[in-house]
Structure 1
Amino acid sequence: MDKGLPIMVQGTHSDAGKSIVVTALCRIFKEKGYKTAPFKSQNMALNSYITVDGKEIGRAQGVQAEAAGIPATTYMNPILIKPTGEYKSQIVVHGKPYKNMQAGQYRQVFYNEGLSLIKDSYARLSENFERIVIEGAGSPAEVNLNDRELVNMSVANIANAPVILVGDIDKGGVFASLVGTLQLLDPVDRKRVIGVVINKFRGDLSLLKPGLDWFEDYTGLPVLGVIPFIDKLNIEAEDSLALEQYSSRKNQEKDLDIAVISYPRISNFTDVDPLMREPDCHVRFVRTNEELGKPDLIILPGSKNTLEDLAHIRKEGLAEEIISLVKENKTPIIGICGGYQMLGQTLADPDGIESGIEKVEGLGLIGNLSTTLTDKKRTVLSEGVIIYRGETIAVTGYEIHMGVSQFSDEQGDRFVQLIDGGTDGFISIDGRTIGTYFHGIFENDRFREVILNDLRGRKGLPEINDRVSFQALKEQSFHHLAQLVESHLNMELIEDKMALFQKN
């Protein structure tokens, strides 16, 4: 096989829509019959994805691999940066923790090693795939960082890839951001840009046409497409910037009100995505007591710094309100990963794995549960069975955590019986309090159906059975996204430029 043809997608800023465009291109090329892979040399995100061999990569690249119809590998995201606190991050290299570093230390000490990792990873993908869709990060015009950057034009040069520049019109000032970005690029790098895409457009395209004509005349670059704003796209978000799109107030038209506690270092919040696709559920991300209200279910999601996030919700008074709702109102609660750890009696970090806080009092909702953080990170795809409301349900999920949790069985039982003979999590005798290390637990259709019907029963509502398959919904979403984006992109010109760059 000839070396794969690359195309790179960069943006004028974070959350411009790069990940969605890359996801769409991965599915477009797949449906055209090309063996396709995504690539992001360095991703900074707290949402991560576990590969089949138990390695951790950015969640966006895992989803893009799904769109391309292939198993994800660490070559698709060799470097993952997971912020743990101010100016400090955990560096994950080929799916395993490397070390914690300050931002300046990373740029000065890790640069050459990172560059070598990136070159090797891209070369491996190029040898095994026909199309490689590369995603940049932030903006390529960060003039203060470009001398040692590892994710934008440096990668385009490694791959000899043409670049599509994406601007978000929904935030306003799209022409200024596109032109400004182009002006700040080095002239050599600017020659790599084959055109721009305007993303998240709402309204009458004829009103935008004079601006498009002006842009092409002023820059000499074509507008490769104007992608409409896509509402209710059932594809996972890239990072916590997307949380700003989510509601925090109750929707009175929905039967079930689900409150997700949104702490400062929330991670893997996409665990609740399957619930957001259910027609009777309104999922809210809440930060304050006033927003919390009296939901039908409280979810404590994962956290990259569990002790600090637990201390935060205590300081804000959210912890006391959660405890009161669970104990006095009998509100069901589910804690996932860091959220599970918060449910216990104590949470300790004696070696400073996540922060400078040595010990924090938990919520006490699993009274005899204690968790100690260790430097050994468990990353694994898991499966087992749970017994919920008298029904045995097969479940799968993935684990990403550095804590060891222990409790006696006085107040409840183990939540999951793993197929390897082990156990996971906790479920109270009344079934109202659940803790688990299983990310992706709500992607299990039967479990989601049973637990939602249990919530409906508590409110005197009839059951809803035969809910949609989340995996089928995801596949439909990939296909819909590909069709929509392809219909608004000049794919012929894009493919011509991909071939032309590889000849030069």
Structure 2
Amino acid sequence: MNDNEYGAARGSAGAGVRRPAATMMLQGTASDVGKSLLTAAFCRILKQDGKRVAPFKSQNMSLNSYVTPDGKEIGRAQGMQADACGIAATTDMNPILLKPKKDMVSQVVVHGKPFADFDAREYRERYLPKAGVIVREALARLRDSYDVVVLEGAGSPAEVNLKDRDIVNMRLAGWADAPVLLVADIDRGGVFASVVGTMEILEPGERDRVKGIIINKFRGDVSLLTPGLEWLERRIGKPVLGVVPYLEGLQLEDEDGASLDARGRRTRAAANDELDIAVIRLPRISNFTDFDPLQQEPGVVLRYVRDVREWGEPDIVLIPGSKNTVEDLLFLRESGLEALLLKHIKAGGRAAGICAGYQMMGERLLDPDGVESDLPELAGLALFPMETMFAKEKTTERVTGSVMTGFGEAAAVEGYEIHMGRTAFTESVAQPFRIRPSRLKDEPESYHPDGVVSRDGRIWGTYIHHIFHNDSFRHKWLNDARQSKGLPLSGEETPFGRLRELSFDRLADHVRKHVDMAAIYEMINVGSNDERFR
């Protein structure tokens, strides 16, 4: 069955059989044009309008992960988009996740579990021919369960060297029989050339799938852009369905590390009455969304540091997750950041490590089977009496529990774990958290201790991603730091979860205002008079 036959077959259900969900797809003229956020926006708009909607991205390359309720790993963006839909995320929404480990090599995660490590050529030649079946089956299940599926492409559909085995852009649109919106980023410049160039490279049948253009991240007076938009519509024969202005201040997570460059440009120096928190920007940094809530805290400046010139005089240093703990610890050592970190701690500074950052805090990293690197053993930061052994089996689990020691009164916490290491202590330590897998019943034997904390609470580590998303914990921890610096304490907790929900609605309202939604509904052939919504 060829690509178009697959879409036609899915749409020709017999009498009495529920028609597959309607589809629409966002593709981009390049990476990082804003497809993920626009997909989330359309998901929330459709939800607001009474549709049962789900996101889909066949293949995602990202080190920002999301753990589904059943303990599977998918791309962070699809988890965020599922939240915008108001539904639980499943691996069908992102059946294939690529997690770069080192240059040209990625861990391939299939339906939430590690499958194999491939270099780019191996993946393309050995696995992509099989991946199409996995993608089509996942998409079919979603279309059988929802009213609309919003698909997100990857990179650009005009990569001529990749098109013959494409599973993420135009071939996927054919499988889904999906109309395509082409998204272009005007903020980076050259928007007309990028749109025209993309359309020129597409084959005639692919150009027919493109139903409209969205210009994203606009700044300025749109009337000055109008002559260019009119020229563009004449030139490509497609309507511009929206010019979406740049929207600041959303409490929504980014898909990958490309956004950290923009964050760095916007970061200001901390004032004397503010907490200066530095996150070490590891080359293979993962799940930096762990720190998003800190950006919304009043009196806190969060910045990302990647070399000694950017160090400054932080009050707190955070060591994030990494897809390659060993290689990133070597980076810390060789860059001089390790020496600055240890000097900071010796002088009474505060520090915390999450996942890989927690593992680095021990005395040794052990990797006899070459799970992460070619080094069988590497000395750690030696902040705590512990060592980590890397294992081939990966832990992916949502967890819930409480704070037990090191941070004052006990508070409820939740988050998730994603790691391939097992940490053991060589002598007795204080472990600050008591957690259990969220999927298990609340039974005493299901709980176990997690993490480590110094006696004075200044230094600690944990396997719990999103620990800072817990408002009470974050509030208490920041106030402890303020108190040690002689700063006034914050009186109210910042409700990050509520701010995030408001951000989904704000994003949806913004896109609805600047995009021709009537044309979108006509494009996907779904509206208030559709029999599925009567």
Name the TM-score class by shorter chain: over 0.9
C-alpha deviations, 1:373-425, integer Å up to 9, x for none?
A: 11010000011111344301110010000001111454x40121124221111
Cα offset, 1:470, TM superposition? 1.1
Query: Partner letter of residue 331 of structure 1?
Result: G
Measure, in 1, the Cα distance between the counterparts of 2:77 and 2:90. 12
Q: How do 1:303-318 and structure 2 match up within 5 A? A: 303-318=322-337
Cα offset, 1:233, TM superposition? 1.4
1:405 aligns with 423
C-alpha contact (below 8 Å) 1:9/1:163 kept by paired residues: yes
CA 1:303–1:230: 2 relative to 1, 3 Å: same
- Indicate yes or no: 2:431 matched with 1:414: yes
- Indicate yes or no: 2:278 matched with 1:259: yes
C-alpha deviations, 1:272-309, integer Å up to 9, x for none?
A: 00001112111000011121122111100000011000
2:69 aligns with 52
Q: How do 1:11-410 and structure 2 match up within 5 A? A: 11-247=28-264, 250-252=269-271, 255-327=274-346, 329-366=347-384, 368-386=385-403, 387-410=405-428
- Indicate yes or no: 2:445 matched with 1:445: no
Cα offset, 1:111, TM superposition? 1.7
Measure, in 2, the Cα distance between the counterparts of 1:398 and 1:484. 31
SS in 2 for 1:391: coil
Measure, in 2, the Cα distance between the counterparts of 1:389 and 1:70. 33
C-alpha deviations, 1:121-143, integer Å up to 9, x for none?
A: 00000000001100000000000
C-alpha contact (below 8 Å) 2:23/2:149 kept by paired residues: yes
C-alpha contact (below 8 Å) 2:181/2:212 kept by paired residues: yes
Cα offset, 1:254, TM superposition? 6.2
SS in 1 for 2:215: strand
Measure, in 2, the Cα distance between the counterparts of 1:106 and 1:286. 33
Measure, in 2, the Cα distance between the counterparts of 1:283 and 1:415. 24
CA 1:249–1:408: 2 relative to 1, 3 Å: farther
C-alpha contact (below 8 Å) 1:63/1:236 kept by paired residues: yes
C-alpha contact (below 8 Å) 2:268/2:301 kept by paired residues: no
Which segment drifts farther, 269-278 or 342-351?
342-351
Cα offset, 1:253, TM superposition? 7.1
C-alpha contact (below 8 Å) 1:49/1:58 kept by paired residues: yes
Measure, in 1, the Cα distance between the counterparts of 2:136 and 2:113. 18
Runs of 4+ displaced beyond 3 Å: none
Query: How many percent identity over aligned positions?
Result: 49
Measure, in 1, the Cα distance between the counterparts of 2:259 and 2:321. 16
Which segment drifts farther, 343-352 or 188-197?
343-352
Query: Partner letter of residue 363 of structure 2?
Result: Q
SS in 2 for 1:170: coil
TM-score normalised per structure 1: 0.97
C-alpha contact (below 8 Å) 1:308/1:357 kept by paired residues: no
C-alpha contact (below 8 Å) 2:212/2:238 kept by paired residues: yes
C-alpha deviations, 1:125-168, integer Å up to 9, x for none?
A: 00000011000000000001111111001110010000000000
- Indicate yes or no: 2:514 matched with 1:455: no
Cα offset, 1:252, TM superposition? 2.4
Measure, in 1, the Cα distance between the counterparts of 2:273 and 2:235. 49
2:509 aligns with 483
C-alpha contact (below 8 Å) 2:277/2:301 kept by paired residues: yes
C-alpha contact (below 8 Å) 1:254/1:281 kept by paired residues: no
C-alpha contact (below 8 Å) 1:85/1:355 kept by paired residues: no
Cα offset, 1:268, TM superposition? 0.2
2:498 aligns with 472
Measure, in 1, the Cα distance between the counterparts of 2:408 and 2:478. 15
Which segment drifts farther, 24-33 or 238-247?
238-247
Q: Count residues with an aligned counterpart.
A: 498
CA 1:253–1:167: 2 relative to 1, 3 Å: farther
Measure, in 1, the Cα distance between the counterparts of 2:269 and 2:381. 24
SS in 2 for 1:81: strand
Cα offset, 1:47, TM superposition? 0.4
Query: Partner letter of residue 325 of structure 1?
Result: H
Q: Gaps (5+ residues) in structure 1?
A: none
Measure, in 2, the Cα distance between the counterparts of 1:221 and 1:341. 52
Measure, in 2, the Cα distance between the counterparts of 1:272 and 1:49. 14
Measure, in 1, the Cα distance between the counterparts of 2:52 and 2:332. 46
Q: Gaps (5+ residues) in structure 2?
A: 1-17, 437-445
SS in 2 for 1:383: strand
Measure, in 2, the Cα distance between the counterparts of 1:357 and 1:288. 24
Measure, in 2, the Cα distance between the counterparts of 1:357 and 1:179. 49
Query: Partner letter of residue 66 of structure 1?
Result: D
Root-mean-square deviation (Å): 1.3
